[in-house]
């Protein structure tokens, strides 16, 4: 008697001692083995892909990606994410185990819009395709995404995308989770698209305006300092004043007393001729 495991159920096959029955038993064994092989992709279909991102007002992106699956056996570690060589210093990968799923979880920060497009290459062995791009045109930022999950079985699939912006989302085909956050739950076995559009100031333009303001402030400050220094130098220089004009001396006539007059009469030398 031999037992075979199929989808968690032990199937018992009774071997016959009749030589004529051996081909039938062998045929039954092949049928059970084929059924077990067919279950492998179904188990592989129990996948979890979760993408969560946040965009800052400076067009920098921070978030995480989870790629996991129900393990086929104890040695199965699930999908393993590998950061692109150009982003190794911005992405950290660790083991993921939750709700019976195993795999890996990648945390990233300070990514540019161009860097985000490379996140899809972290798991090259995955079936189907998954891509997200962020583009700016003036003060408008557009998210475009496409998930081709036609080859992913629908049983047990959990694929979600969530993104937060620094301003209110204008238009989207996703589910609004607030003014600035939108999410998508992507069905397996289908091709899904994601789109969101939001308006906020271009950081490069904002930086230029800021620098222009700083330079204007510096120029004004320098002008004020130079003017103040000139004013202080002018006030500290010695002032040469013109000599004051002397007032004319007025001679006061002398009035002689009667006694002086008598003396003058007695002394003719004092009489003015």
* Spans of all domains in the chain: 2-44, 47-201, 202-232
- The strands making up 191-199's β-sheet, listed across from edge to edge, are 129-137, 140-148, 191-199, 169-172
Region 131-140: mean pLDDT is: 93
**What is the reported pLDDT for 8?**
40
Q: Quick check: 157 pLDDT over 50?
A: yes
**Euclidean distance between CA atoms 201 and 211, whole angstroms:** 15
**Euclidean distance between CA atoms 191 and 148, whole angstroms:** 4
**What is the reported pLDDT for 216?**
52
Dump pLDDT digits (tens) for 36-84: 333 333 334 588 999 999 999 999 999 999 999 999 999 999 999 999 9
Angstrom CA distances, 152 to 95, 115, 166, 247, 273, stand at: 23, 26, 33, 116, 149
**What is the reported pLDDT for 101?**
94
Q: Shortest CA distance to 62 belongs to which of 128, 8, 124, 134?
A: 134
Q: Quick check: 26 pLDDT over 60?
A: no
Dump pLDDT digits (tens) for 30-49: 333 333 333 333 334 588 99
Q: Which two tokens stand for residue 219?
A: 């120029």
Q: Shortest CA distance to 198 belongs to which of 182, 217, 214, 216?
A: 182
Q: What percent of the chain has pLDDT over 90?
A: 48
Q: Which two tokens stand for residue 72?
A: 């086929």
DSSP of 113-133: HHHHTTGGGG-TT-SSEEEEE
Q: Which two tokens stand for residue 155?
A: 């049983």
Mean pLDDT over each residue of the chain, to the nearest integer:
75
Which residues are 98's β-sheet partners?
A: 101
- Tokens 């003017």, residue located: 227
Dump pLDDT digits (tens) for 170-189: 999 999 999 999 999 999 99
Q: Check residues 239 and 273 and name the one with the higher pLDDT.
A: 239
**Euclidean distance between CA atoms 12 and 189, whole angstroms:** 35
Which pTM value belongs to this model? 0.60
């Amino acid at each position: 008697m031999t037992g075979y495991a199929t989808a968690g159920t032990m199937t018992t096959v009774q071997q016959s001692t009749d030589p004529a029955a051996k081909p039938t038993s062998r045929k039954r064994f092949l049928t059970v083995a084929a059924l077990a092989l067919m279950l492998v992709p179904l188990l592989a279909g129990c996948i979890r892909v979760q993408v969560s991102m946040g965009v800052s007002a400076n067009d920098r992106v921070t978030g995480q990606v989870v790629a996991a699956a129900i393990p086929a056996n104890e040695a199965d570690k699930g999908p393993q994410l590998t950061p692109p060589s150009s982003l190794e210093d911005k992405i950290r990968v660790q083991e993921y185990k939750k709700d019976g799923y195993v795999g890996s979880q990648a945390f990233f920060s300070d990514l540019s819009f161009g860097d985000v497009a490379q996140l899809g290459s972290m798991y090259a062995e995955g079936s189907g395709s998954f891509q997200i791009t962020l583009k700016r045109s003036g003060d408008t930022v557009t998210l475009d995404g496409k998930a081709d999950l036609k080859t992913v079985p629908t049983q047990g699939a959990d694929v979600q995308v969530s993104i937060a912006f620094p301003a209110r989302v204008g238009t989207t085909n996703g589910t609004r989770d607030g003014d600035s956050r939108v999410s998508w739950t992507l069905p397996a076995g289908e091709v899904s698209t994601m789109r969101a559009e939001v308006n906020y100031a271009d950081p490069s333009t904002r930086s230029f305006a800021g620098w222009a303001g700083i330079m204007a402030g510096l120029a004004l400050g320098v002008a004020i300092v130079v003017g103040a220094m000139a004013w202080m130098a002018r006030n500290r220089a010695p002032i040469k004043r013109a000599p004051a004009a002397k007032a004319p001396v007025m001679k006061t006539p002398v009035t002689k007393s009667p006694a002086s007059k008598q003396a003058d009469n007695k002394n003719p030398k004092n009489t003015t001729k």
